[in-house]
Amino acid sequence: MNIKALIYWIIVAIPLGWGLKLSIEKAKPLFAGALSAPAKPAAAPADAPKK
């Protein structure tokens, strides 16, 4: 990769990085305990064989 190609990559990486950063921030609650809601027992699958 030459210097010109590297500059092209940097130019497209700026908006990509911005969008990625915002999405990760948006997804943070998932990693910060928002998912610690009590797990519910899964319902029996609709087509599960009857015992």
Partner 1 sequence: MGFLDRDNTTADSGYSRWGFPPAAIAVQMCIGEIYGFSVFNVPLTRALGITKSLPEDWTIPMVGWFYSLGLIMLGLSAAVFGKWVERSGPRKTMIASMLCFCGGLWISALGIYLHNYWVVLFGYGFVGGIGLGLGYIAPVSTLIKWFPDKPGMATGFAIMGFGSGALIGAPLGNLLMGYFKTETSVGVGESWLVMGGIYAVFMSFGALIARVPAAGWKPAGWNPPAAATNLMITQSHVSADEAIKTPQFWLLWIVLCMNVSAGIGILGQASLMSQDMFGVSAAAAGAFVGLISISNMLGRFFWSSMSDLTGRKGIYIIYFVLGIVLYAAIPYLTNVTLFVAVVCVIITMYGGGFATIPAYLRDMFGTFQVGAIHGRLITAWSAAAVIGPYTLNRISTDLKAAGVPKELAYNRVMYICVGMLVVGLIANFLVRPVAQKHLYRGELPGSAPAPAPQPAAARA
By CB under 8 A, name the one of 11, 49, 50, 51 that touches partner 1. Answer: 11
- String of DSSP letters for the chain: --HHHHHHHHHHHHHHHHHHHHHHHHHHHHHTTTT-SPPPPPPPPTTPPP-
Asked if 40 touches partner 1 (CB under 8 A), the answer is: yes
Kindly state whether residue 46 participates in binding partner 1, applying the rule CB under 8 A.
yes
Does 49 interact with partner 1 (rule: CB under 8 A)? no
Does the protein bind partner 1 through residue 30 (CB under 8 A)? yes
- 50 touches partner 1 by CB under 8 A: no
Task: Quote the Cα angle for 18-22-26, to 5°.
Answer: 170
